[in-house]
Amino acid sequence: MAPEKWIPVLPKNYHSIALHAVSIAAEPVVLMNGKPVTDYSDRGPHTQRGIRSCRDFEVRDGAKSILGFHDHP
**Structure confidence at residue 10 (pLDDT):** 67
What is the mean predicted confidence (pLDDT) over 9-35?
Answer: 87
C-alpha distances out from residue 68 to 1, 11, 15, 56, Å = 22, 12, 12, 8
pLDDT band at 13 (very low <50, low <70, confident <90, very high): confident
Q: 44, 53, 51: which is closest to 67 by C-alpha?
A: 51
Each residue's pLDDT tens digit, 51-67: 888 899 999 999 999 99
- Length of the chain, please? 73
pLDDT band at 11 (very low <50, low <70, confident <90, very high): low
